[in-house]
Amino acid sequence: MTSRSLQPWECPTCGDRLSFEILDDERFLVAWSCLNCGLVRATEPDSR
Ligand SMILES: [Zn+2]
């Protein structure tokens, strides 16, 4: 694995590992938070 592409579980700001918390299991809504810089992201299901 030599890919340098940013992984969804890596913080885009500081590159630290993100911890996730499942907000809605049925809709697969997950919140990602960085413990290092405090960044928070949320993934949402495909919306059309
Ligand atoms: Zn961060």
Which residue type sits at 38?
Answer: G
Instruction: Provide the pLDDT for residue 45.
Output: 62
Instruction: Provide the pLDDT for residue 9.
Output: 82
- Per-chain residues with Cβ under 5 A from ion ligand 1: 11, 13-14, 16, 34, 36-37, 39
- Residue 26 within a domain: yes
- Residue 35 within a domain: yes
- Residue 27 within a domain: yes
**Total domain count, the chain:** 1
Query: Is the separation of the CB atoms in 12 and 33 below 8 Å?
Result: no
Which parts of the chain fold into alpha helices (H)? none
| pLDDT per position as a tens digit, 4-47 | 666 668 898 999 999 989 999 998 898 999 999 999 988 876 65
Instruction: Provide the pLDDT for residue 19.
Output: 93
- Residue 3 within a domain: no
- Residue 39 within a domain: yes
Domain around 31:
9-48
Instruction: Provide the pLDDT for residue 40.
Output: 92
- Residue 1 within a domain: no
| Distance from Cα 16 to the centre of ligand 1, integer Å | 5
